[in-house]
Structures are given as C-alpha cells and as structure tokens.
Amino acid sequence: MTLQQMHYALTIAECGSMNKAAEKLFLSQPALTNTMRSLEEEIGINIFLRSKRGVTPTSEGEEFLAYVRQLYQQYELLKERYSPDAEFKRKFGVSAQHYTFAVRAFVDTVRKFDTLEFEYAMRETRTREVIQDVAQMRSEIGILYMSAYNEKIIGKMLHEKDLEFHELVQARAYVYLCEKHPLAKCREVTMDQLKDFPCLSFEQDVQSSVYLAEEILSENVYPRTIQVNDRATMLNLMDSLNGYTLCSGVIFDDLNGDGCLAVPFREDAEDSSGLMRIGYVVKRNSIRSEMGEYYLESCRRCLQLIRK
C-alpha cells in the first residue's frame, strides 16, 4: 500500500464518482479503477460499492478510509512542518459546538495564515459530529464542553474514538436572553423564574441522548422548549418570543449581534452540574499542525479577553 493509493482512495470517497475522481487526479478512469482493484486485492476487502449512480464506501471501506484519512493527514502535516518551501494547498478544519470564541479564534487563524491556496473549514455542528469529525480527521480540532452530568458518556465516546480532551476554561451557567426580556435586569435568575418562557436549545440528532446537549443543565425538565439548528434562528426567537438559553456566558457580543445579554443563573449551592469545562478534543498522540497550535493559542487569548 502506497501513499499515492491512499490519496486516490480518499479522492474517490470525496467525489463519490470514479469519473470525477479521475478528472481531479488527472488520470484515466481505467488506470484509477485498476489501481483501486489492486489495493482492494492487497488488503482483502472491497472499499467501494460501484453502481450506475457512482461509488459509496462499504462498511469495511468506511473503517479503512477513517484510518487512511488519519495517516494521510499526518503525512501532510509532516510535509508542512519539514518542507516549509514546498508549494501545496493548506488545509485546516475545526468542528465546534456553538461558541463565539471558537469562531473568533478561527478568524484570527485564517488571517494569520492567509495564503494563495487554502481549504479551511469551520463547522458549527452537533456534539456527536464534533467527535466524529475529529475521529475521522475531517477536523484537526474539536471544541465542546464537559460537566459532572455528561463527562462519563462523552469521556467514553472519546476513549472509544482514541481522542483526548484538554480543558481551556471553566464557567458557571448563565441565562442568555434579549435585553428587552422581563428578566434582563435581574442580578441573577432562578429556574422558577424561567418556567413561563420558552427554553431554546440546539437540536441534536435522533440518536443522541440528553447527555450530548450543548446547553448546561439539560437534564432539568423544561415545560416549554424549542429546538433550533443555527445561531441566527435562536437569536430571532429570543427577540420575538422572549426565549432564553442556558450557556457559559463566554460570548463575543459582536458575533452574536447586539441586543442580548447573559445573566448569572442561580442554582442549588450543592449542585455542581452547572459547572462547564469547555475545552478542545484532538486525536491521541497526533502531531499538531502549525495552524492548529496557533488556533489553540488564539482560543486562549479570546477567552482571556472575555473573562476580563
């Protein structure tokens, strides 16, 4: 098995078509097909299912491609680190729960490493997909939180995917709401005060349990709930329906828009489930790229600015 064969397999999976992959690789389709057949014979599995509609990875192929993607990206990182004058397209990706500091740090990183050719990705997505993206090396870094309530479940998922969690900051629960909300001027807000207002949360996939919710204290029972898929919709519903969400209070206002604020949430003094440990997830023992290192430094700088 060669690095070239790995590159071909990853390109086919990305394109979903032998024709398109051959065009992208500047090969003839028969040559690409023969290379893949040779690889499949060598490793003893069918990597792709071929049909008139294109190609899709088999279940064994999915597992194989996950390992190949990890290995090939490590090879690209080595090229980046030890061949500084080499010309190639920079690639870097982050998958995160919805944190404005993560977006701000990404913006800073892109500005720092602005090159003629690049392929960057900032994925604000669901918790399970944050973990999956890093495990499959679609993203070098994932940003999520753990708490006393969810750490066993998420910790188990990370262990199974050979990932590790590193804490960036600890934060207590805050209620995020519109400035014109009836509770906006309170010094702190209790759960009883919130019961008459809709609780907004980011929707997770059907398979996900409450342990994968982005919002702290998701184990509580809320009489009125609305799930959304994106930040803009959540902000609109806060404004139009007097909705609220429970968050870390770690927010860049210029990225979330004007007119919203975070009010401390008053919880049971003996309850530690309201403490969020926000951090990053990476592959265990992986080599961090130059961009990855800078991104994490930028995250820390952004968090220091907010905490001030």
pLDDT of residue 157 exceeding 90: yes
Query: Counting beta carbons within 10 angstroms of the beta carbon of residue 52, is it exposed (0 to 12), middle (13 to 18) or buried (19 or more)?
Result: exposed
With the C-alpha atoms ordered 19, 25, 31, 36, is the resulting torsion angle positive or negative?
negative
pLDDT of residue 254 exceeding 70: no
Do strands 225-228 and 199-202 pair parallel, antiparallel, or not at all (unpaired)?
A: parallel
**Which of these ranges, 150-159, 191-200, 253-262, has the smallest mean pLDDT?**
253-262
Q: What's the mean pLDDT in 124-128?
A: 91
Give first-to-last CA distance, the chain, whole Å: 53
Give the Å distances, CA to CA, from 91 to 1, 73, 139, 150, 292.
Answer: 24, 9, 9, 32, 10
Per-residue pLDDT tens over the stretch 221-246: 787 888 888 888 888 888 899 999 98
**Which of these ranges, 106-120, 121-135, 182-196, 203-217, has the smallest mean pLDDT?**
203-217
User: Measuring CA to CA, which residue among 157, 127, 154, 156 is closest to residue 142?
Assistant: 127
Q: Tell me what pLDDT residue 266 has.
A: 84
Q: Tell me what pLDDT residue 208 has.
A: 59
Tell me phi and psi for residue 187, to 5 degrees.
-70, -30
Q: Tell me what pLDDT residue 268 has.
A: 54
Topology, domain 3-68: Arc Repressor Mutant, subunit A (1.10.10)
Q: What's the mean pLDDT in 273-283?
A: 88
pLDDT of residue 215 exceeding 80: no
pLDDT of residue 90 exceeding 90: no
Sequence-separated (6 or more) residues with CB below 8 Å from residue 81: 287, 289, 290
Domain ranges of the chain: 3-68, 89-308
Tell me phi and psi for residue 238, to 5 degrees.
-60, -45
Cα(239)–Cα(116) distance, rounded to whole angstroms?
41
Do strands 275-283 and 163-172 pair parallel, antiparallel, or not at all (unpaired)?
A: antiparallel
Global pTM reads 0.72
Q: ∠ at Cα 130 (125, 132), nearest 5°?
A: 125
Q: Tell me what pLDDT residue 106 has.
A: 96
Q: Tell me what pLDDT residue 216 has.
A: 73
Q: Tell me what pLDDT residue 129 has.
A: 93
Q: What is the dihedral of CA 65, 67, 71, 74, to 10 degrees?
A: 100
Q: Tell me what pLDDT residue 273 has.
A: 61
* CATH, range 89-308: 3.40.190.290
Cα(20)–Cα(114) distance, rounded to whole angstroms?
29
**Which of these ranges, 129-143, 171-185, 197-211, has the smallest mean pLDDT?**
197-211
Q: Tell me what pLDDT residue 234 has.
A: 87
